[in-house]
Chain A
């Protein structure tokens, strides 16, 4: 998993911008506004969601992706979720609430590019299936300021699961 070398914590002002950006981003997904969410990504987006393989402590960390997508593949996923006629799993829509915390934001050697680690907790309620699912994980984002606005250039979500307990994942984290 490639990590951008960091050069120290961001300023309070930038930290505020990042915190606000992440909260706004989560709100878009919570209300199923996928098109607006997709607009927050840079064209060279790398979007990955990984799960852990159960291994003894001390052995090499074993995570493997369940989603590893570029802009084109992510676009297909987003277009499907965005159109009620093209999704069964999200129509009726599941109720989602995202909590993004423990924000650690650092500058990098690249101008206007920030390495941001967060914890994410996503609550999902699918009433028709009597189902409540929780997705907890750690995110590593690369955020880039483009024309004055923050954009997501890279995201890796390490989910704290090895077996997805609530069926397949039908949302974005």
Chain B
């Protein structure tokens, strides 16, 4: 039984979103069943489990899973719960194992989920089919650009269709060299008393918070781009929205900035891009100062300069743990082909800005907690959040470059954020990926 969800949480004509979307336990329960247990959710990156037997433990929707590389080299995910009486088979965050033995009564499973023995097989009824006790396999698992996604929904659309136009951008960030990207350290993880959607909205297109929330790192030039460059770049930037509720904001450096700031400078891993990407993707990367985006529902990314000639790609998962709480996971990536010194520098600087002690993150978290706290009461609930700066721009696409997705200028409006909320509302009201794809075509 899924709870009844009131209509009108998102008022598309008025540019309003109910605060209860960010605070209500009932709405959260519906999000879990209609979004997180239905659609594609990010599980991890292939480079986190490079060898046979490597695994990481993650969350897929409402359930804990083990994501492992089997002896045959395939990536597979299983429910991390013993079929006998339920404990987690694996309580480590990561490791390597050929099998998992339940610490409760000793049921043991191969790394691919197959039951090896219950230890007491001889006490079972004679004709027991033990294969019925194999670990519950995540029914849908697909990998695109090294990014591993899973879904509990056997009928979910293929991942490529799900990512649709956003895949073109993800390819340019995660598959731009022959070997692709590599995770540089285990994820930073932190809990925060805020609704997960605040994170998704923050990344899909919240240019309006940069100058206030992040006045500190901007003033101090924490990302090492000349202040003048950033200001000029702000004039050449736009939002992209795609089907399924994905989106991103691209911000470019103005012409005339030092060439070493660009993704197409003549040293380091970017020299490999040209042979691996289309001309349009190269044009998209050329002069790109920063791209921040979100794959619906809760996978965000940043592609940003962290020092002259150094680019970090960061992935961020907003993993809900309740209506008003989430755990955040943050990974830093660099091209596999890059040398160790480059990777170390990208890791250090990437996390300086966007890690568990990141100079950008600390101020974001303070305000997300504050927003959740101050909205979670019956008085505040009567006054919906404003997304009004999306309204005048919704029908004014500006596809100057002709790249995938729908582009909107300027970048400092709430078009992408409001599109995310409308997509969220469609799904909460019972819409499925297939319906949404069909309607959009």
Residues in A lying within 8 Å of B, measured CB to CB:
49, 51, 53-56, 59, 62, 64-69, 73, 76-77, 79-80, 83, 85-89, 128-131, 162-170
Contact = CB atoms under 8 A, between A and B. Distances in A.
Given A76-B220, A89-B365, 12 more contacts: A64-B185, A64-B186, A66-B351, A76-B352, A80-B359, A88-B363, A131-B369, A163-B189, A163-B190, A164-B189, A169-B356, A170-B362
Interface string B13-34: 0000000000000000000000
A55 B95 contact: yes
A130 B359 CA distance: 22
Contacts of A170: 357, 362, 366
B95 A76 contact: no
Nearest to B223: A76
Contacts of A79: 220
Contacts of A53: 93-94, 186
B346 to A, nearest CB: 12
Interface string B357-377: 111011101110110010000
Interface stretch (B105-113, B155-163, B211-219): B211-219
B191 A167 contact: yes
B142 interface: no
A80 B222 CA distance: 10
Contacts of A89: 362-363, 365-366
Nearest to A78: B220
A96 to B, nearest CB: 14
Nearest to A66: B356
Contacts of A68: 347-348, 351
B342 to A, nearest CB: 15
A159 B359 CA distance: 19
A88 B185 contact: no
Contacts of A83: 216
A162 B186 CA distance: 11
A129 B374 CA distance: 10
B430 to A, nearest CB: 34
Nearest to A68: B348
A62 B92 CA distance: 11
Interface in B161-214: 185-186, 188-193, 213
Given A55-B94, A76-B359, A129-B370, A164 B217 contact: no
B61 interface: no
Contacts of B355: 66-67
B59 to A, nearest CB: 12
A26 to B, nearest CB: 18
Contacts of A69: 348, 352
B337 interface: no
In this complex, which of B361, B363, B367 has the most chain A Cβ atoms within 10 angstroms of its Cβ?
B363
Given A89-B363, A89-B365, A129-B373, A167 B185 contact: no
18 contacts: A51-B189, A54-B93, A59-B92, A59-B95, A65-B348, A66-B188, A69-B352, A76-B222, A80-B216, A80-B359, A88-B216, A88-B367, A89-B365, A129-B370, A163-B189, A164-B188, A164-B190, A170-B366
B369 A129 contact: yes
A83 B366 CA distance: 17
Q: In the A-B complex, list the 10 residue pairs whose CB atoms are closest, starting with the nearest.
A: A86-B216, A164-B190, A169-B357, A170-B362, A80-B216, A88-B363, A89-B366, A89-B362, A66-B356, A163-B189
Contacts of A167: 190-193, 362, 365-366, 369
